[in-house]
A and B are shown apart, each in its own frame.
Chain A
């Protein structure tokens, strides 16, 4: 065990993170350190590397340079402290399974090899579905859920991971108003439990209302800090170029 107690380590401490696809940099020298209990939004134009940032933190894409520490340790050594909500479009929703089964997948990491999910996993999954308002759809085939409902199933799956740090890739994209409210409540609940959440977001309008901190990204890190401090005209201009003018009207 590490001598340092986890409480004294930042949930997420990223230094000099650089990712390149076919020699083209997607992320360049990004630093990001956040405190426990922060709701951090990652914003930036298309192709800014927002999703890549999350994937690089989780070791899903190879990094060219840099270090990622989760509660003071590399991710591979601290997986169980991390929950992940991938983009909804990243999977085939016609896969033959139901919502409850997908949520139980969140326990697979804890179960380890060979073990099958049983009663405790089922109960945890039902609780999580309840929390996202999806209990009545537990046995619904996942292709028969609306986009917002599918997103909530993914959130429930992350909840049963019972983690201290969550990465969510565009959870608000293409969801209905009810789901947006449900996700918001969930984020606030997570924060009140002292959990830290990193969210790829693309709606500058709701940034202030939903999040504490924000990282403006455009391959390089443009700015990071409390939302009001980051959302300045200069920063937005640096991140979005001329296109930002109408965004802050």
Chain B
């Protein structure tokens, strides 16, 4: 490593571009429930890369990326035209296209390796990704494509959003859905192919889907989701690329995917509102609130029977409701000063408790009347 700074900045810049673009366009893949599409596109790109090398004998990044794009785009066009013209299910078509294109790509790669002239500087990096072989030249090409893709998505933001949320309504307003879909699909192809050298065809789909799926956990706005997704994508691919260029023989794809997986799992667990932890706590809180209200109501009816609040009822009566954790709930109520406990195993409502019980009963009746 003579020029470490050069390699490092190249890797960081390249990683940032890959993460940014796959983060932004992953949002559409996720919201349109087309997560598998990324996998198909990336695998479909492989024969294009191999063919460009085989026929033109060049390894210029622009040529390889264009080859990948044409081939990936061809794969998606086959998918959409077959699914439009036949009754074959989309996932079936995608699985077939993925396998056929990937198989073809692998066959071509092994052919290339048998060529006497082959300078081996491996096209295999396109399988698992290799950030450290990246040159400034690669970054420039990636930056050019990224800029175009981001400008288009910025200009067509409203159209893409509407077509993603409510396609029939968008069509009824006169937006040409087929053309919009085609543009968006092509941009997803761009986002995937520029990431192939770094992440590899095998794992690229994770880079498309995971940042967006993680970002969805943190926000309820599509714009914010896109920003967070881009951030997660950049975070994962920059740190994944740095990891793999410092640890020998660690391909970039797997290291990147491991990091984005951590981000994803963290988001699933800990994001506010949508996170599993938050939802679990909320459910427990709700159960608790309902149980407390039930106990107050119970005491209210007991008090009604006795025509007096002052009367202490036997705790055992409530325990007979046989609610799990009844003692915890009663302790809780008494802490809130909604009930009073007598030393001799008695319980009664306080004035505040009575008020709460009445409003709880009203609420139950109200919602019953409504439905």
Binding site for B on A (CB under 8 A): 55, 58-60, 76, 79, 82, 84, 86, 90-92, 95-98, 102, 105, 108-109, 111, 113-117, 141, 157, 176-177
Contact = CB atoms under 8 A, between A and B. Distances in A.
Contacts of A58: 171-172
A82 B225 contact: no
A90 B165 CA distance: 10
A82 B165 contact: no
A96 B158 contact: no
A95 B31 contact: yes
B158 A111 contact: yes
B173 A79 contact: yes
Interface in B116-165: 155-159, 161-162, 164-165
B219 interface: yes
Given A84-B172, A116-B157, A176 B370 contact: yes
A116 B173 contact: no
Interface of B: 31, 33, 155-159, 161-162, 164-166, 168-175, 216, 219-222, 224-225, 370-371
Contacts, number: 74
Given A97-B220, A114-B156, A176-B370, A105 B162 contact: yes
A95 B173 CA distance: 20
Given A91-B165, A111-B158, A117-B158, A97 B222 contact: yes
Contacts of B161: 97
B173 A109 contact: yes
Given A97-B220, A117-B158, A108 B173 contact: yes
B158 A90 contact: no
Main secondary structure of the interface of B (DSSP, over half): helix
A116 B160 CA distance: 12
A141 B220 contact: yes
B174 A79 contact: yes
A51 B30 CA distance: 28
Given A79-B172, A79-B173, A84-B169, 9 more contacts: A59-B171, A59-B172, A95-B164, A96-B220, A97-B220, A105-B169, A109-B175, A114-B158, A116-B157
A96 B169 contact: no
Given A59-B171, A113-B159, A117-B158, A102 B165 contact: yes
A171 B371 CA distance: 19
5 contacts: A90-B168, A96-B219, A97-B161, A97-B222, A98-B220
A141 B221 CA distance: 8
Nearest to A79: B174
Contacts of A95: 31, 164-165, 222
A76 B174 contact: yes
A108 B162 contact: yes
B268 to A, nearest CB: 15
10 closest Cβ pairs, A-B complex? A109-B173, A141-B220, A84-B172, A58-B172, A91-B166, A96-B222, A79-B174, A95-B165, A96-B220, A86-B168
Given A105-B165, A114-B156, A116-B158, A97 B221 contact: yes
A60 B168 contact: yes
Contacts of A116: 157-158
A60 B172 contact: yes
A37 to B, nearest CB: 22
B173 to A, nearest CB: 4
Most chain A CB within 10 A, of B168, B175, B216, is at B168
